[in-house]
Chain A
Amino acid sequence: MEREPIANDELVYRRVPEVFYDPNSNRPLAWEAFRPNKNDTDGLSVWLSKYVSPSDVAQRNARFGKRYYVLEIAVTDLRELGIEVISTPEHGELGHASLATMTYAAYQADKNLISELAKRITLEFKHIIYGPYGPLDE
């Protein structure tokens, strides 16, 4: 699959494990949902909304018994923060993209910068949140 350009007016989905989302909190989404870990060598995974539904994203490689939320984010909002959004279908399937600024190496190089970006995504954006989805055994 070839990489494709992503326009500013597109939307992406990010899956959020239930442990990072508390609907009863005045800050329901934990910024740690956007903290890169050692698996995020090319950035955090997101999915282009024109190819997949929130339900598709929630169910992809879902763990047995787990519940997930799915966050919808505007690409233009991410780019205004300086976060690069690129198509990376080679990491998954059609519609897979990466927040290429949010890599593990970048976090190790500048914890403050990357955690600030994660906090701004979770606290300053007007998100649409879908879910919860699951668990699969229901």
Chain B
Amino acid sequence: MIATVDTQTLSIEPLEAITSTAATDDTLGVKARFLSNNHDAWQSVIDMKLNEWGIDPNQLEEEELIPPTRTAIRKAVKLAQAFQNDDWPPPMRVVPDGDGGVVFERWSGSISVSIEIDKNGESEFVECCDNKVTSRVRIS
């Protein structure tokens, strides 16, 4: 089942406001930079990052980094598919959180928004301004 995201409680305005930077700031590689729409960019996140990590999470293991768990990756894929279906702008960065989770992040100027998925698959929407957390909301 695809995860449901209550956009009423997510204060998505900042995310939409920074949509226009997607073409130049996308950091998911050359291919993603030239994708024509949000749907394809999210598909690239799913195919090029999340599915690759899911095949072998240990490829990311480092002394400084605990790779994403399969639970976290599964939840990340579900959320990515949900955002893809809702035509949300794609993340500019997708990284392991270093402790078994996954983070999607976008930013523009002093504002950044992220979806933080922890090792247990619990996820939060986090909004920051000038590197201060202004909102942290659990996603159901």
Q: Is the interface on chain B under 10, 10 to 19, 20 to 34, or 35 or more residues?
A: 20 to 34
Instruction: Give the segment of B59-67, B72-80, B82-90 that binds chain A.
Output: B59-67
Q: Which of A25, A30, A111, A123 contacts B136 (CB 8 A)?
A: A111
A-B contact count (CB 8 A): 71
Question: Main SS of the interface on chain B?
Answer: strand
Judge whether A32 and B62 touch: CB under 8 Å.
no
B27 within 8 A of A: yes
Q: Is the CB of A30 within 8 A of B93?
A: yes
How far is it, in angstroms, between the C-alpha of A16 and the C-alpha of B61 when the chains are bound? Answer: 13
- By secondary structure, the A interface counts as mixed
- Determine if B25 is an interface residue (Cβ-Cβ < 8 Å): yes
Q: Which residues of the partner chain B approach A33 to less than 8 Å between Cβ atoms?
A: 64, 98
A19–B65 touching, CB < 8 Å: yes
Interface string of A116-129 (1 = CB under 8 A from B): 10011001100000
CB-nearest residue of chain B to A21: B95
- How many of chain A's residues have a CB under 8 angstroms from any CB in B? 31
The residue in chain B whose Cβ has the minimal distance to the Cβ of A14 is: B64
Is B48 part of the binding interface, using a Cβ–Cβ cutoff of 8 Å? no
Q: How far is the CA of A61 from the CA of B97 in the complex (A)?
A: 21
* Listed stretches B2-10, B11-19, B37-45, B125-133; interface member: B125-133
Write the residues of chain B forming the contact surface with A, with a CB cutoff of 8 angstroms.
25, 27, 60-66, 92-93, 95-100, 103, 105, 107, 112, 126, 128, 131-133, 136
Residues of A within 8 A of B (CB): 15-17, 19-20, 22, 24-27, 30, 32-33, 35-39, 45, 61, 63, 66, 104, 111-112, 115-116, 119-120, 123-124
